[in-house]
Amino acid sequence: MPKTIFIATSAVIDLSVDSSRAFVYILNGYFTKAHFKYIPFLIILSVLGTWFGKIILTKVSDYFFKYLLIIVVIITCLFQVFKYFFLLK
């Protein structure tokens, strides 16, 4: 799968999951009026992250991106296993 299609698919999935999670947080009172002051800052960070990510993707080949993604997934899995066995006890 080309990196652009992977990124777009991931963005759609993330948006749907995060939107539903935000809805649950609001309904349960975890998100209050005090949190609204952070929204403009978070939007700016999101735009900057998207811009920076696009620059990186133009410089990275599909081959390198594929193996980088595999390495990140493996590291994440190892961290979760470590956390489960050593930090949750």
Pick 10 or 89 by higher pLDDT.
10
Which residues make Cβ contacts (< 8 Å) with residue 68, sequence separation at least 6?
Answer: 60
Q: Is the pLDDT of residue 53 over 90?
A: no
Residue 89 banded pLDDT, cuts 50, 70, 90: low
Return the percentage of the chain with pLDDT > 90, whole number: 33
Matching residue, tokens 């991106």: 65
Please indicate, yes or no, whether the overall pTM of this predicted structure exceeds 0.75: no
Residue 6 banded pLDDT, cuts 50, 70, 90: confident
Answer whether 4's CB lies under 8 Å from 60's CB: no
Q: What is the pLDDT of residues 72-86, one digit of tens each?
A: 999 999 999 998 888
Distance in angstroms (rounded) separating the CA atoms of residues 80 and 53: 25
